[in-house]
Amino acid sequence: MTIVLYNTLTRKKEQFIPLEEGKVKMYVCGPTVYNYIHIGNARPAIVYDTVRKYLEYRGYDVHYISNFTDVDDKLIKAAEELGEEVPVIAERFIKAYFEDVGSLGCSKADCHPRVTENMDDIIDFIKTLIEKGYAYEADGDVYYKTRSFAGYGKLSHQSIDELRSGARIQIGEKKEDALDFALWKAAKENEISWDSPWGKGRPGWHIECSAMARKYLGDSIDIHAGGQDLTFPHHENEIAQSEALTGKTFAKYWLHNGYINIDNEKMSKSLGNFVLVHEIIKEYDPKVLRFFMLSVHYRHPINYSVDLLENTKNAFDRLKTAYGNLQYRLKSSTNLTEEDSKWLEKIAEQRTAFETAMDDDFNTANAISVLFDLAKHANYYLQEKTTAEHVIKAFLHLFDEICSVLGFSLQEQELLNQDIEELIEKRNEARRNRDFATSDNIRDQLKSMNIILEDTPQGTRWKRGES
């Protein structure tokens, strides 16, 4: 079997053939860290973490990079409103990001580069584009000459003329063409800035990912991924910058996940209908949110509502029940008999069905259907008068194998008293340091494991809730 994926660049499914046999270079656009992440940020984090896990399951050595934009207009505005420095805000929400996506079962990337830590590379990238005639300086700003790149529009499948009709030059911009975009922005008064050959300033958004992808993965990569909203202009501009600089194909495959709707309405900060992961996981097990996100194919839009999340929780609980019943019967199982071989064949068929689903453009929705089929077969098997240890272990092993790729576990986690005390001490230390994000996260983690905290003048007491 081979993996087939949908490439936004060609608008068709293609067989996945990496640039180097057995190895995958993958870059995923990360968040701008000026606030807690909402579920729109969580979807690509979950989706591409699952893609990475499946590629590793299939034997690939995956080099996975996901960046942080830790300086831009949103961060500068937040700093002004809160009376804090940009790096302080960025650091706080990078920490919160790791806590939130970590609770969602996302593994850390091999590297999470930050814009502010790669400024020299970004400036060198811009200098080379100017030298090659693809960019120009104008009163401290630097712009990319969009028309100088012959392939512009190939990712979003738009022509230069179509793009030109909707382009405008904003007040204060000194670009030569409305289609040109900023590589470097001259600093405004009292604004965070860095020295450059064009004066103090900071990079434009698009150049950041081009420079960091090249630095950490090389001139050409296998997979570049992100949300559908990044296709244009962000990823289109990345291609123009990177391929103009190197003369090589920037990314072979482009993956984009669909939008999220809230109660059947497109999620938008302007509408005020975005939902923070930080808030959801106070009420729901983070595994349920991940399960929900993977229950729809990544390229399709997904509708979020409390009712749908509640339905997902109930479905997830059914799988946990099937898994728990298998664990219980393991204690009284017998030796394998000849009649049990048919059940081992059914289990093998489910493994094949899982791989078939995931090989077809990482279809997690169908992969989850396999889990329910596996649970159905397990429930039928447990109706037998006698059960074999070997068969039950085979069921449990496949559950674990599939779930490890999808990024969650069906096992009930029982915290030891010592573990609880250590988490409470970490929470108390976070509260003393006024790190309320960490404090709240630990409280929510304990709550999800049925541990109830009570803060008293004498200290924090805890007890296990009723099952």
Are the C-beta atoms of 285 and 377 separated by less than 8 Å?
A: no
Q: With the CA atoms of 433, 437, 443 and 449 taken in that order, what torsion angle do they form, in degrees rounded to the nearest 10? A: -140
Q: Residue 310 above 60 pLDDT?
A: yes
Q: Residue 269 above 90 pLDDT?
A: no
E strands present in 399-464: 451-456, 459-464
Provide the pLDDT confidence category of residue 433 given band limits of 50, 70 and 90. confident
Say what the pLDDT of residue 467 is: 45
**Per-residue model confidence as pLDDT tens digits over 33-86:** 999 999 999 999 999 999 999 999 999 999 999 999 999 999 999 999 999 999
The residue among 66, 406, 116, 359 whose CA lies nearest residue 227 is 66
Are the C-beta atoms of 91 and 136 separated by less than 8 Å?
A: no
User: Which segment of 120-129, 294-303, 336-345 scores lowest on mean pLDDT?
Assistant: 336-345
Return the bridge partners of 114, or none: 68
Give Cα separations from 203 to 76, 171, 181, 190 (angstroms): 13, 19, 11, 16
Say what the pLDDT of residue 432 is: 85
User: Which segment of 82-96, 261-275, 298-312 scores lowest on mean pLDDT?
Assistant: 261-275
E strands present in 116-162: 135-138, 141-144
Say what the pLDDT of residue 228 is: 96
Residue 36 structure tokens: 């807690």
The mean per-residue pLDDT over the stretch 113-121 comes to 98
**Per-residue model confidence as pLDDT tens digits over 4-37:** 999 999 999 999 999 999 999 999 999 999 999 9
Which amino acid type is present at position 184? Answer: W
Say what the pLDDT of residue 167 is: 60
**Per-residue model confidence as pLDDT tens digits over 324-361:** 999 888 888 787 777 788 999 999 999 999 999 999 99
